[in-house]
Amino acid sequence: METQQLTTLAGVIDKKMNRQLKQYIDICARCAICKDACHQYVGTGDFKYLPARRAELIRQIYKKYFDKAGRFVPALYEARDPDENLLEELYESTYACTACRRCMYFCPFSIDTAWILSVAKAMLIAAGMGNEMLSQLADAAIMKGDQPELFRDVLVSGFKDIEAEVREITGDPSAEIPVDKEGADILYVGLAGAHSIRPAAVIFHEAGASWTLSLFESANYGFFLGDAEKARKIADRYMDEALRLGVKEVVITECGHAYRVAKIFHEAWSGKKHPFRVRHILEVIDEYITDGRITVDPGSVKGAITYHDPCQIGRNGGLFEEPRRIVRALAADFRDLTPNREQQWCCGGGGGIVAMSEFDEDRIKSGAKKVEQIRATGATIIAAPCENCRLQLEQLRDHHELDLHITPIMDLVVEAMPLAGTKAAQA
């Protein structure tokens, strides 16, 4: 690699480094407590997945270019150039990280390895080594936002088909999936899949909510890619829609990272404060049940059920009790995983890793702790309000031959509602 290119890549690190990140770089005591917190390291035993080691690669480059001692006696301080060898190791340890931040929770200095790795992603992208699949998925989402006229008719026609199903489920021929409804209270942002729209539409209808459906999906592969510009553009699609329609709140579907993007990151990326609030659909459903706006049968869930906290909703999003209250309202036999809430194990499916086939083998191995936790409860149903978690859990179930039904919470709620229709909630 040319000296010029090495300096440019090191420059990317320098640009991204703020005081907090520099502090992380400096204070790591190499105590390795984080190794027992990371499901990937625990599940694979592979050194490259040790959280402090992942960050160490960035630290080495930083030392070489921006630290006096490292600049003059690099060997002593393990200061290194961002050459091909380092970048290849960095690629694996960075894109495999699910950004669950469990290591941060257990680190005595609260070092945020996932944040350090966002710097690594920026450098990999600058070196032309950003993940190709995530990049393609992000570009496809941006394409839909740039040329909505190309996709609008086909999307609306899909929504009409779902609306027909909602009418059959609710037994109400006037039930609607409104799109582009100015002045609605809620803009609901689902995923591209009908499964994220159908149950929400039933719940909003039964609650008599004033809502409208976004044309766009909330999933954000630009965020997983580590490209803040692309991530912002993807979120802008529905945030602009919310502004145009004048809604009071944006409600994100059962998805982890999308909730965090909308609730926490978008304002910083866009530099603008939202004139509406952002909530997760589970917060809204919890409120509907508590306020009696929807009725649910308390014995509806038969059998033992447990709940998985998706990292971006739980540890990194702060929603622990809302989903548990909903599940308890439907089920007599709720058994929590151990540990849970802030200490919940990552299932291994976050950070976009389910779309990156090169990590498939390690991803399944990294689910070992989750499987152990589920087995210990004896539950045969697990509710998981995140698409990536559910995909991972389904593959873990098949791999370990678990007797386990994996479900979004919305589906359980719809099944528990006394509805006049004849059709079952999910196709």
Rule CB under 8 A: is residue 137 a binding residue for other proteins? yes
Q: How far is CA 131 from CA 11, 121, 159, 244, in A?
A: 21, 9, 32, 33
Q: Classify 379 as helix, strand or coil.
A: coil
In the list other proteins, ligand SF4, none, the entry touching 114 (Cβ below 5 to 8 angstroms by class) is ligand SF4
> Of the listed pieces 105-113, 150-158, 210-218, 238-246, which binds ligand SF4 according to CB under 6 A?
105-113
- Minimum CB–partner distance for residue 62 and ligand SF4 (Å): 15
Sketch the per residue contact string, 107 through 126, with ligand SF4: x for CB under 6 A, - otherwise.
xxx-x-xx------------
Q: Which does 136 bind (CB under 5 to 8 A by kind): ligand SF4, other proteins, none?
A: other proteins
Q: Which does 40 bind (CB under 5 to 8 A by kind): ligand SF4, other proteins, none?
A: ligand SF4
Q: Is 229 helix (H, G, I), strand (E, B) or coil?
A: helix
340-370 CB burial, b ≥16 within 10 A, e <16: beeebbbbbbbbbbbbbeebeebbbbbbbbb
- Residue 66 in contact with ligand SF4, rule: CB under 6 A: no
Torsion of CA 241, 224, 320, 404, to 10 degrees: 110
In this structure, are strands 405-407 and 249-252 parallel, antiparallel, or unpaired?
A: unpaired
- Identity (one letter) of the amino acid at 105? Y
Cβ 197 to other proteins shortest distance, Å: 9
Q: Which is nearer to ligand SF4, 62 or 159 (CB)?
A: 62
Closest separation in Å from C-beta 169 to other proteins? 16
Check if the beta carbon of residue 412 is closer than 8 Å to that of residue 327. yes
Beta strand extents in 338-413 (DSSP E only):
381-383, 405-407
What x-and-dash track marks residues 305-344 binding ligand SF4 by CB under 6 A?
A: ----------------------------------------
How many residues of this chain interact with ligand SF4, rule: CB under 6 A? 27
To other proteins, the closest distance from the beta carbon of 140 in angstroms equals 4
CB 341 within 8 Å of CB 309: yes
CB 100 within 8 A of CB 49: no
Return the DSSP state at 34.
Answer: G
Q: How many CB atoms lie within 10 A of CB 269?
A: 17
Q: Is 133 in the site for other proteins (CB under 8 A)?
A: yes
Site for ligand SF4 contains 368 (CB under 6 A): no
Closer residue to other proteins (CB): 157 or 174: 157
Q: Pattern 148-187, binding to other proteins, x per CB under 8 A?
A: --xx--xx-xx--xx-------------------------
Q: Is 33 in the site for ligand SF4 (CB under 6 A)?
A: yes
What is the C-alpha to C-alpha distance for residues 182 and 243, in angstroms, rounded to an integer? 10
Q: Residue 378 binds which entry of ligand SF4, other proteins, none, with Cβ cut-offs from 5 to 8 Å by kind?
A: none
415 binds other proteins (CB under 8 A): no
Contacts of 218 (CB under 8 A, 6+ apart): 189, 190, 191, 238, 252, 253, 255, 258, 259, 261, 262
Q: Is 32 in the site for ligand SF4 (CB under 6 A)?
A: yes
199 touches 410 (CB < 8 A):
yes
Q: 192 touches which of ligand SF4, other proteins, none (CB within 5 to 8 A by kind)?
A: other proteins
| CB closer to ligand SF4 out of 109 and 320 | 109
Q: Does 11 bind other proteins (CB under 8 A)?
A: no
Using the structure block, give the residue that is written with the tokens 């609901």.
Answer: 188
Residue number with CB closer to other proteins (191 or 243): 191
Query: Applying CB under 8 A, does 245 fall inside the site for other proteins?
Result: no
Q: Per-residue string for binding with ligand SF4, 46-65, x by CB under 6 A?
A: -----xx-x-----------
* CA atoms within 13 A of residue 70's CA, in its CB half-sphere: 15
Query: What DSSP designation does 297 have?
Result: -
59 binds, among ligand SF4, other proteins, none (CB under 5 to 8 A by kind): none
Q: What is the CA radius of gyration of the chain?
A: 23
Q: Which residues in 113-206 belong to E strands, given as ranges?
A: 186-189
Give contact residues for ligand SF4 (rule: CB under 6 A): 28-34, 37-38, 40, 51-52, 54, 97-103, 107-109, 111, 113-114, 346
Give contact residues for other proteins (rule: CB under 8 A): 133, 136-137, 139-144, 147, 150-151, 154-155, 157-158, 161-162, 191-195, 217, 219, 355, 357, 387, 391
